[in-house]
Structure 1
Amino acid sequence: MNKTFILFGDSLVSGYGVDFKDSWANCLSSFLHIPILNKGINGDTTASMLNRFYIDVSLNIPYELFIMGGTNDLLCGRTVSSIVSNIEEMIKESKCTTYIGIPPFVVKETAEKIFMPSTLYTHCEDSLPLLRTELIKLCTKYSLDYVDFYVLTNNNLDKNIYIDGIHLNELGHALMLKEFLKVVRQ
């Protein structure tokens, strides 16, 4: 039986901003002792994720699946309902144990200075708590476990865990890994 665990999402899954060896997704294989297939793509939206779901997930027949996206959607001005709808479609297509990730908090002021200027950071910052609530409802509906990176990062803002207000540094990745393992243990 295929024991592959697929991580599916955007740059927060792919490990953008840190050395590969330090990314939470890469470090995960040391703890789960099964093959990890990272299908995170920098800048991806949930609409794009839905479009590539068949090739990146279904054809790989994972044993377990982690899905996280939505930050880039919000930074493109999309609605929470469109994100939740796309993630729900992915859940319906998954044929394995599935976990949902709740995207991290975004530090608007830092992102504007370091990552890139945007008029949509306020929309993102205001919408992330609603996205969290709606994703938890979706997980309840489908009896899925979720990893709450939003609360984790919001509670650790005093620890300098970001490189640019959106992406996390090595400490942030270590915290994400620890939080992930609280929910997903083999």
Structure 2
Amino acid sequence: MKYILITVTLILIFFTLTKKKTDIQALATQDTILAFGDSLTYGYGTTLTKSYPSLLSSLTGLKVINAGVNGETSQEGVARLPRLLEDPSIKLMILCFGGNDILQKRSMSSLKKNLKTMIQMAKEKNIQVLLISVPNISLFGLSALALYEEVSDEEKVPLISGILANILGNPTLKSDQIHPNALGYKIMAEKIYESLKENGWLN
């Protein structure tokens, strides 16, 4: 019985990993990546040429649209996204929202709902999604928010977690308490690039 359970478990793991892999369509040279978010996407704290979307474009050789807006909440993102998704060349959206919701003490259930809505909007346009988690920022430091794992699982999209917490937890990598500096954004771009390769978007 023990060996049967082990065999069944291994089969389930195999099919889960296979399904996750086959759901991802590799990006072609003519495809565009939409980097959608707030000031962390815009590159607040450095120049636009040193923002993570700009650096990611150099790493991938692909067009990466910097659609970050300073100070924007996830609800505002929901309202802004549909127009951006009309670009037929966009095949992947990198979604990074939550910082301003947290700072403004907005409902975390609303943040989760808005993230799911934005992912579903992209899916309706056959655009793939990579989600980036934002840490909770408080007087006690940085802590993970379970809602990003929940959104990733429920919407079946890959998640990069911990990257911003690691950067913002290092004084040498940030321009202020909530934004990376040029080196921080460089590390962010490199980690995203690695994730694109690991998930099969890039060869």
Aligned-pair Cα RMSD in Å: 2.1
Work out whether residues 133 and 164 of structure 2, in 8 Å CA contact, stay in contact via their aligned partners in 1: no
Change in 2 beyond 3 A, CA 1:161/1:104? farther
The yes-or-no answer on 1:64 pairing with 2:77 is no
Alignment partner, residue 23 of structure 2: none
Change in 2 beyond 3 A, CA 1:173/1:5? same
Change in 2 beyond 3 A, CA 1:105/1:172? farther
Instruction: Classify the secondary structure of the residue corresponding to 1:63.
Output: strand
Whichever residue aligns with residue 153 of structure 2, its letter is T
Of the three residues 166, 174, 179, the one matched with 1:162 is: 174
Work out whether residues 56 and 189 of structure 2, in 8 Å CA contact, stay in contact via their aligned partners in 1: yes
Instruction: Classify the secondary structure of the residue corresponding to 1:184.
Output: helix
The yes-or-no answer on 1:43 pairing with 2:71 is yes
Alignment partner, residue 163 of structure 2: 152
**What does the per-residue CA deviation read over 1:53-83, in whole Å, with 9 as the maximum and x for residues that have no partner?**
1112x21231111111011011111021110
The yes-or-no answer on 1:52 pairing with 2:80 is yes
Whichever residue aligns with residue 133 of structure 2, its letter is I
Of the three residues 120, 123, 144, the one matched with 1:129 is: 144
Q: 2-side partners of 1:155 and 1:55: how far apart?
A: 33
Work out whether residues 104 and 152 of structure 1, in 8 Å CA contact, stay in contact via their aligned partners in 2: no
Work out whether residues 116 and 155 of structure 2, in 8 Å CA contact, stay in contact via their aligned partners in 1: no
The alignment covers a number of residue pairs equal to 165
**Superposition pairs of residues 77-116 of structure 1, within 5 angstroms:** 77-94=105-122, 95-104=126-135, 106=137
Q: 2-side partners of 1:105 and 1:73: how far apart?
A: 10
Work out whether residues 105 and 153 of structure 1, in 8 Å CA contact, stay in contact via their aligned partners in 2: no
Q: 1-side partners of 2:99 and 2:38: how far apart?
A: 8
Unaligned residue ranges in structure 2 (runs of 5+): 1-27
State the TM-score, normalized to the length of structure 1: 0.80
- Cα displacement (A) at 1:105: 6.2
Unaligned residue ranges in structure 1 (runs of 5+): 107-120
Percent identity (aligned): 24
Of the three residues 84, 93, 101, the one matched with 1:73 is: 101
- Cα displacement (A) at 1:159: 5.1
Task: Select the structure of larger CA radius of gyration.
Answer: 2
**What does the per-residue CA deviation read over 1:94-153, in whole Å, with 9 as the maximum and x for residues that have no partner?**
1211111112564xxxxxxxxxxxxxx449x57x522xx2111211222211122xx234
Alignment partner, residue 138 of structure 1: 151
Work out whether residues 105 and 166 of structure 1, in 8 Å CA contact, stay in contact via their aligned partners in 2: no
Q: 1-side partners of 2:92 and 2:166: how far apart?
A: 28
Instruction: Classify the secondary structure of the residue corresponding to 1:167.
Output: coil
Runs (4+) of structure 1 moved beyond 3 Å?
153-156
